[in-house]
Structure 1
Amino acid sequence: MLFQQELINRVTKNCNKDLYIVSAMMYGSFTTGEGDIYSDVEFYIFIKDSFFKEFDSNEWISNLCATDLIYFNEYGTQVAIFGNLIRGEFHFLPQSRMNVIKEFKPTGVFPNAEKMFIYDSTNQLYALLDYLSGEGPDRKTNENVNSSFNGFVNYWIFGVNVLKRGEYARSLEILSHVQKQVLQAIRIKDDSVEHWLNSTKNLESDLKKSSYESYKSITANLEQTNLAKAYYNALVLMEKLYFNVSSSYEIDVSRKLLAKMYTHINE
């Protein structure tokens, strides 16, 4: 049995016997059948309101198994690094905030309630998890297409300008934002939008081979020539994608603007 599955079993057991905990659910790879030996484990655990302030989440996680680090990341998620370097993400919330589960609906496609269910003493959790089931949001929309193209123009110009200034490290950082916008446009073209928000997830298997090779051409290191080539290739690729999707969507970006961008990078 994978360590992650053993950990899920321990979380389930500990939730069932902890009088402070009223409900718990999991999300992520092990609910969608994608979990493997490298996958994280992720949980939402709800605590009785009257005990929430005194609940020691660090101690609770530590009692699951050996940890090397527990901390809160920049999103407020409690992250545990277990002794074998597997990651766990934990969200501990008061019972009165259980309806937050409904807010997950716009973020993607969720499995059935049974696969996400860990424990419940409130008779509320199944209904909330059932609300998440079914088809996810429509990603192939005019709004998303324009978000991708408009975001691309913004980050591309930003990145090229700092590249010209000689700030190679900053330009490389901005390139990652350019890549995300390109990937989302590729995913719309390839009809592979399941991992829309986390656009690089399963990229090697999600994209057509030709699309993956195109993506490789917009990666770079800190060398000025490689950065310039990546930005140029990104513009070429996005222009091709423009022609691929422009017959189906109304795109704000004009061909005239794309032509200006070619002139700008070649100056």
Structure 2
Amino acid sequence: MLIQNKIIQSVRDKCIADEFVSACMMYGSFTKGEGDQYSDVEFYIFIEDDKMEKFSSRHWVSEVYPIHLIFYNEFGTEVVIFSNMIRGEFHFLPVSKIEIIKSFKPTGLFPDPGSMYIYDSTEQLKPLLDDLGGVGPDRMTDENVNFAFNNFVNAWLMGVNVMRRGELARSLEALTLVQRYILQLIRVKENTVERWLNSTKNLEEDISTESYKDYVSITSKLKENEIELAYKNALNIVEALNEMLGSLYKVDVDKDLISKLYSYLNE
């Protein structure tokens, strides 16, 4: 039995026993049939409104399973490093905000909403989770494809400019954005857009060998010649994607703009 399953069961047991907790749901890999020994455990836990001031999330989580570290990340999520090096993410909210679950629908596909259910004393959670089911958002649209092309140009130009200034570390950071938008376009081309927001997840299995080689060609060490080659390769890949997808979707980026980017790179 995976230790994550023991932690999940411990969270469920604690929710049932704790009068402060009104409802709890899980999200992430274990709700999509993808959980393994390296996966995180992730929860939304809803607390009685009048008990929020007295509620200690740190104390609560530490009673679920021994922890080494607990802190808030830059997104306001409470992150836990358990003693066995498993990561956890916890969102503790007043139960009056339980309808935040409705906002999850546009973020992706939820193949098994029933697996997200942990505990509920309000009779509100199950209907909210059921509404997450069905077909996920349509990613293969003019808007999304145009978004990826446009943001590629922005990230690519910024990365090339800071590279020329000698800010190689910053250029390498911009390259990660270039990679993100290229992967989104590749996923559109290959119809693997379920992971649109987390485009590198399961990449080794989701995209073709040829596209994976393209992705490898736009990675780099912190060396100027490698970074420059990655930006050149990125432009080559986007040119091919533009030729293919530009005939299927309405996009702002055209051959003339790509030609200008080539000229700019060769100056």
TM-score category of the 2 structures, normalised to the smaller one: over 0.9
Match of 1:138 in 2: 138
Which amino acid is 1:159 matched to?
Answer: G
Provide the rounded CA distance (Å) in 2 between the counterparts of 1:214 and 1:158.
Answer: 21
Post-superposition CA distance 1:169-222 (Å, at most 9, x none)? 000000000100100000000110010000100000000111001100000011
Decide whether the 8 Å contact of 1:112 with 1:129 is kept in 2.
Answer: no
Provide the rounded CA distance (Å) in 2 between the counterparts of 1:90 and 1:235.
Answer: 40
1:65 Cα deviation from its structure 2 partner:
1.2
Instruction: Count residues with an aligned counterpart.
Output: 267
1:111 Cα deviation from its structure 2 partner:
2.9
Where 1:70 maps in the other structure, the secondary structure is strand
Decide whether the 8 Å contact of 2:32 with 2:112 is kept in 1.
Answer: no
Match of 1:84 in 2: 84
1:246 Cα deviation from its structure 2 partner:
1.2
Match of 1:193 in 2: 193
The answer on 1:207 being equivalent to 2:211 is no
Decide whether the 8 Å contact of 1:47 with 1:95 is kept in 2.
Answer: yes
Matches of residues 8-47 of structure 1 in structure 2 within 5 Å?
8-47=8-47
1:54 Cα deviation from its structure 2 partner:
1.1
Provide the rounded CA distance (Å) in 2 between the counterparts of 1:153 and 1:160.
Answer: 11
The percent identity for this pair of structures is 54
Provide the rounded CA distance (Å) in 2 between the counterparts of 1:85 and 1:235.
Answer: 40
Provide the rounded CA distance (Å) in 1 between the counterparts of 2:247 and 2:148.
Answer: 16
Where 2:74 maps in the other structure, the secondary structure is coil
Provide the rounded CA distance (Å) in 2 between the counterparts of 1:211 and 1:56.
Answer: 47
Which amino acid is 1:69 matched to?
Answer: L
Where 1:146 maps in the other structure, the secondary structure is helix
Decide whether the 8 Å contact of 2:20 with 2:48 is kept in 1.
Answer: yes
Provide the rounded CA distance (Å) in 2 between the counterparts of 1:253 and 1:80.
Answer: 43
Decide whether the 8 Å contact of 2:114 with 2:130 is kept in 1.
Answer: no
Where 2:54 maps in the other structure, the secondary structure is coil
Matches of residues 83-232 of structure 1 in structure 2 within 5 Å?
83-232=83-232
Provide the rounded CA distance (Å) in 2 between the counterparts of 1:115 and 1:257.
Answer: 47
Post-superposition CA distance 1:15-39 (Å, at most 9, x none)? 0010000000000000000000000
Moved over 3 A (4+): none
1:112 Cα deviation from its structure 2 partner:
2.9
Matches of residues 235-250 of structure 1 in structure 2 within 5 Å?
235-250=235-250
Provide the rounded CA distance (Å) in 2 between the counterparts of 1:202 and 1:54.
Answer: 41
The answer on 1:55 being equivalent to 2:55 is yes
Decide whether the 8 Å contact of 1:82 with 1:88 is kept in 2.
Answer: yes
Q: What runs of 5+ residues in structure 1 fail to find an aligned partner?
A: none
Where 1:194 maps in the other structure, the secondary structure is helix
Decide whether the 8 Å contact of 1:148 with 1:184 is kept in 2.
Answer: yes
Matches of residues 60-75 of structure 1 in structure 2 within 5 Å?
60-75=60-75
Provide the rounded CA distance (Å) in 1 between the counterparts of 2:71 and 2:108.
Answer: 26
1:80 Cα deviation from its structure 2 partner:
0.2
Which amino acid is 2:8 matched to?
Answer: I
Q: TM-score, normalised by structure 2?
A: 0.99
Decide whether the 8 Å contact of 2:31 with 2:113 is kept in 1.
Answer: no
Q: Which moved more, 1:107-116 or 1:9-18?
A: 107-116
Decide whether the 8 Å contact of 2:187 with 2:196 is kept in 1.
Answer: yes
Q: TM-score, normalised by structure 1?
A: 0.99
